[in-house]
Amino acid sequence: LKSPAVAQAAPHGQSRAEAAAPTTPRLLDGQQVLLSTLPPSRGQTRLALAIGLVLLAAFCATVPFATVPLRYTREFIPAYATAMFVISLITAALLYVQFSIVRSRALLAISGGYLFSTLMTIPWALTFPDLFEQTEIASTTWGLLSTLWHLGFALFVIAYALLKDNEPSTRWLRRSLPFAVLSSAAGVVIVDALVWLVTPTNASMPTTLALFERSYSYWNGLLLLAFLALALLWSRRRSVLDLWLMVVMCGLLIELCLIFLVGRRYVIGWYAGRVYFLISSALVLMILLSETAFLYARLARSVMAESREREARLMTMDVLSASIAHEMNQPLASIVTNADAAARWMGRPAPDLDEVKSSLEQIRNSAYRARDLIVSIRAMVKRDGRNRSSLDLNELVREVLVLTGRELQRSRVSVELGLAQHLPPVKADRTQLQQVLINLITNAIEAMRENKQPRILRVKSALQEPNRVLISVADSGPGIDAGIVDRIFNPLFTTKSNGMGMGLAICRSIIEGHDGRLWASTGAHGGAVFEFTLPAEADA
Amino acid sequence: MILMAAILTYIRFMQAFSPTGNSPSLRLAAEDQQLQHRPIISIIDDDESMRCALKSLVTSLGFKAYTFASAEQYLDSPRLDDTSCLISDLQMPGLNGIELQQSLLAQGRHIPIIFVTAFPEERMRARAIEAGALGFLGKPFDSSKLVELIDKALEAGRET
């Protein structure tokens, strides 16, 4: 499936210039504004890969000198812990915000992981043996906290990776705040419990645990777990967040490997491992922050464009009423003038009955035209949802094709139908949607009237991610001039000699009244394409 | 010679006393002549039904009517030279009525113009009248008003 961003930016292979100035700026949907759902761009993937490779290269370069002792720097761990505390806290906050928007269990897990990480840095820094008391037991406590921290974090990442594709279809949380508070409290309790468990004053701390901390199987298990988290992320990677979490896990793995390899403090490996993890965490936070800011800017721009458009449309309300007057006066004038003409033909010394008859016919046609106009205006003005029912758009399309069948046949237009199977129903006003489809199809027929090449009307339906139904009506006519494509929906605009000039404005107003969108573009084979989307019925 | 002159005199005498004439060829020739003298009214409207209605009305008044769907079409036609009165819509795709008026004036053609519009705006009326338009009617209009204006246009044409 094409990503919605790409599909919307350039529908049907429009030229770049046209794509850059789309008919209407569309409001970005949730898929495009959340780190947890937004697919990474190629540039981001490359950047992440580059950072991963640099980390790996740094790791390889460090390994030969890992055991070389460096100057004793007591302040290193407190400084490192402070930095990690701040980084983890901000990342956790960022992810909690994301969680509060989507309420996904996976996001709760990963933000919980960061919160846990934040909280763990406090006892971890405070129990650093060289800081307060240099005893064997203190050292063990510190080491255990260190590994528990990483172990816990890896477990949270695994939980995230496992949960992220198995979200329940319905929103499982009504409110996010209590959950955020609750999980924070749980984090504090868990960390407290762990600290209590490994504190030397606690007599129950098993010495075997201390011995175990140094054993190979313990380290192997920890490494394996971190690696498992990375592998799971890789196999289920989809979003920007997944991508950068993988970078974090690479940093974590490298830190673990280096610390495991050297097994001593104040050597190059011991320093370097921590620095690498710190750097990767800081980088990822920076990127997530800039990504969020960028998305925010995009969203803000699109919202502004949307509100400008709405304002413009409100301004056109008086234009619209003027246009209704204009459109109504046209058939009325024709009726009055024809009636006068008929009276004069009748009043001649030798009445010309043929002329009278033709005038009367004209009067009838104009009256019908006025009636059609009133029907359209009523359809446009009537916006209440009382007449809305569950509709199968495929069925409606077939119905309208039957209704317009005579006109299609007379104009020798062949119809190509591409209806998607299992289309979800939409909640809509049947008459209004019928009006839209009839209007689009009639427009298409008229556009192909002068055609030398085959006259083909293509009507398609499709299910658009995540839950919108798309209908497209394409013709093989001359297409829409780039210069007028943004004006065709304006109420007074018409290219037809006897056109109402309001058809498309009314169509758009109907579709938007149903929370849908209607836009026009040029098809892949030339010709005009009119497409609209409607939200699928929620509980279907 | 004398015989021929006598025959001609006889024919003229017959014509003078029976205008409908017994000879069909002579009657047709007479109507032809009359047709050539019928003033030409050109009608420009992008709305087909309005165009037909105006043509029918103008023809019923005894004028010769030509219709055009756009100002451009009219400007490209030979009717530019023999139009006695122009009835034009104001809002049209392409050149609008005012632009058409400007274009005609720029060519030095002072054809009497009657504007008919479905959306009469005071601003447009002022502009059109200021530029010398003969009339400005809002659709739908009473045809007697149009007839009045056409008569005025033809009178103006006769005077110049």
- Gap from B30 CA to chain A (nearest CA, Å): 19
User: In the structure encoding, which two tokens stand for residue A195, read together?
Assistant: 């600290």
The residue type at A427: K
Nearest Cα residue in chain B from A323: B119
Confidence of residue A64 (pLDDT cuts 50, 70, 90): confident
Sort out which chain B residues have CB atoms less than 8 A from A338's CB and list them. 49, 52-53, 56-57
Sort out which chain B residues have CB atoms less than 8 A from A492's CB and list them. 91
Q: β-pairing, B64-68 with B40-44? A: parallel
Mean pLDDT, residues B139-145 taken together: 89
Mean pLDDT, residues A361-368 taken together: 91
Any residues with CB less than 8 A from the CB of A535 and at least 6 apart, and which?
A: A426, A467, A468, A469, A514, A515, A516
Kindly tell me if the per-residue pLDDT of A23 is higher than 50: no
- Say if the Cβ atoms of A325 and B69 lie within 8 Å: no
The mean-pLDDT minimum among A116-125, A191-200, A283-292, B2-11 falls in B2-11
pLDDT digits (tens, 9 = 90+) for A448-476: 887 777 889 999 999 987 789 999 999 98
Interface residues from chain B to A (CB-CB < 8 Å): 46-50, 52-54, 56-57, 59-61, 69, 91, 93, 116, 118-119, 138-144
Confidence of residue B19 (pLDDT cuts 50, 70, 90): very low
Full DSSP string of A266-290: SBHHHHHHHHHHHHHHHHHHHHHHH
- The beta strands (E) that lie in A224-326 are given as none
- Say if the Cβ atoms of B143 and A336 lie within 8 Å: yes
Sort out which chain B residues have CB atoms less than 8 A from A497's CB and list them. 46-48, 69, 93
Confidence of residue B101 (pLDDT cuts 50, 70, 90): very high
| Secondary element (H or E) of residue B45 | none
- Say if the Cβ atoms of A362 and B49 lie within 8 Å: yes
Q: β-pairing, A528-535 with A414-418? A: unpaired
pLDDT digits (tens, 9 = 90+) for A160-187: 998 887 766 555 556 666 777 777 777 7
- Say if the Cβ atoms of A495 and B139 lie within 8 Å: no
Closest CA to A129 of A118, A111, A142, A120: A142
Kindly tell me if the per-residue pLDDT of B141 is higher than 70: yes
Greater confidence (A340 vs A321) lies with: A340
User: In the structure encoding, which two tokens stand for residue A190, read together?
Assistant: 């868990």
Spacing of C-alpha A15 from chain mean position = 23
Sort out which chain A residues have CB atoms less than 8 A from B52's CB and list them. 334, 338, 358, 362
CB A468 within 8 A of CB A426: no
- Say if the Cβ atoms of B140 and A333 lie within 8 Å: yes
Best residue in B45, B57, B88 to probe A by mutation, most A CBs within 10 Å?
A: B57
CB B16 within 8 A of CB B26: no
Cα separation of A158 and A112, whole Å? 12
- Gap from A349 CA to chain B (nearest CA, Å): 12
Indicate the average pLDDT of chain A: 79
Cα separation of A141 and A128, whole Å? 9
Any residues with CB less than 8 A from the CB of A182 and at least 6 apart, and which?
A: none
- Say if the Cβ atoms of B60 and A344 lie within 8 Å: yes
Kindly tell me if the per-residue pLDDT of A22 is higher than 90: no
Which residue has tokens 């006897």?
A498
Sort out which chain B residues have CB atoms less than 8 A from A326's CB and list them. 91, 118-119
Closest CA to B50 of A370, A367, A330, A325: A330
User: In the structure encoding, which two tokens stand for residue A393, read together?
Assistant: 């758009």
pLDDT digits (tens, 9 = 90+) for A80-115: 999 999 999 999 999 888 888 777 888 888 998 999
Cα separation of B63 and A353, whole Å? 18
Closest CA to B127 of B154, B100, B108: B100
C-alpha distances (whole Å) from A86 to each of A243, A289, B102 are 22, 14, 74
pLDDT for position A74: 79
- By CB atoms closer than 10 A (0-12, 13-18, 19+), residue A206 is exposed
pLDDT for position A381: 62
Indicate the average pLDDT of chain B: 81
* Most confident listed range (A33-37, A134-138, A259-263, B12-16): A259-263
- Say if the Cβ atoms of A334 and B116 lie within 8 Å: no
Q: What are phi and psi of A470, to 5 degrees?
A: -110, 135
The minimal CB distance from A326 to the residues B53, B56, B118 is found for B118
Cα separation of A138 and A185, whole Å? 27
Full DSSP string of A344-384: HHHHSSS--HHHHHHHHHHHHHHHHHHHHHHHHHHHHH---
Sort out which chain B residues have CB atoms less than 8 A from A336's CB and list them. 140-143
Sort out which chain B residues have CB atoms less than 8 A from A449's CB and list them. none
Greater confidence (A319 vs A227) lies with: A227
- Gap from A358 CA to chain B (nearest CA, Å): 9
Confidence of residue A30 (pLDDT cuts 50, 70, 90): very low
pLDDT for position B74: 94
- Give me the interface pTM, i.e. the ipTM: 0.74
Sort out which chain A residues have CB atoms less than 8 A from B50's CB and list them. 330, 333-334, 337
pLDDT for position A311: 63
Count CB pairs under 8 A between chains A and B. Answer: 95
Q: Roughly how many angstroms between the first and final C-alpha of chain B, as a whole number?
A: 43
Greater confidence (A405 vs A376) lies with: A405
The minimal CB distance from A340 to the residues B49, B139, B143 is found for B143
Cα separation of A163 and A105, whole Å? 7
Kindly tell me if the per-residue pLDDT of B53 is higher than 90: yes
Nearest Cα residue in chain A from B44: A497
The minimal CB distance from A497 to the residues B48, B142, B144 is found for B48
Kindly tell me if the per-residue pLDDT of A61 is higher than 70: yes
Nearest Cα residue in chain A from B46: A497
- Gap from B70 CA to chain A (nearest CA, Å): 9
- Say if the Cβ atoms of A334 and B53 lie within 8 Å: yes
Kindly tell me if the per-residue pLDDT of B21 is higher than 60: no
Sort out which chain B residues have CB atoms less than 8 A from A329's CB and list them. 118-119, 138-140
Closest CA to B97 of B84, B81, B116, B110: B116
Closest CA to A531 of A457, A460, A442: A460
Nearest Cα residue in chain B from A365: B49
Best residue in B114, B143, B146 to probe A by mutation, most A CBs within 10 Å?
A: B143
pLDDT digits (tens, 9 = 90+) for A229-285: 999 988 888 888 888 899 999 988 888 888 888 877 788 888 888 898 899 899 889
Q: Is B120 helix (H, G, I), strand (E, B) or coil?
A: coil
User: In the structure encoding, which two tokens stand for residue A345, read together?
Assistant: 């033909």
Full DSSP string of B91-108: S-SSS-HHHHHHHHHHTT
Greater confidence (A420 vs A142) lies with: A420
The minimal CB distance from A355 to the residues B60, B118, B139 is found for B60
The minimal CB distance from A334 to the residues B50, B91, B138 is found for B50
pLDDT for position B87: 95
* Interaxial angle between packed helices A207-214 and A136-163, expressed in degrees from 0 to 180 and rounded to the nearest 10: 70
pLDDT for position A214: 58
- Say if the Cβ atoms of A338 and B53 lie within 8 Å: yes
Greater confidence (B159 vs A232) lies with: A232
B73 CB neighbour count, 10 Å cutoff? 14
* Most confident listed range (A307-316, A507-516, B17-26, B54-63): B54-63
- Say if the Cβ atoms of A344 and B61 lie within 8 Å: yes
Cα separation of A289 and A301, whole Å? 18
Interface residues from chain A to B (CB-CB < 8 Å): 322, 325-327, 329-338, 340-342, 344-345, 348, 352, 355, 358-359, 362, 365-366, 369, 492, 494-495, 497-498
Nearest Cα residue in chain B from A325: B119
- Say if the Cβ atoms of B56 and A497 lie within 8 Å: no
In the DSSP assignment, the letter for residue A536 is B
Sort out which chain A residues have CB atoms less than 8 A from B61's CB and list them. 344
Cα separation of A417 and A401, whole Å? 10
User: In the structure encoding, which two tokens stand for residue B97, read together?
Assistant: 């009525």
The minimal CB distance from B69 to the residues A494, A495, A497 is found for A497
Q: Considering just the CA atoms, what is the radius of gyration of chain B in Å?
A: 20
Greater confidence (A312 vs A44) lies with: A44
A196 CB neighbour count, 10 Å cutoff? 13
C-alpha distances (whole Å) from A149 to each of A394, A539, B95 are 56, 43, 77
Mean pLDDT, residues A200-213 taken together: 52
pLDDT for position B56: 93
Cα separation of A124 and A134, whole Å? 14
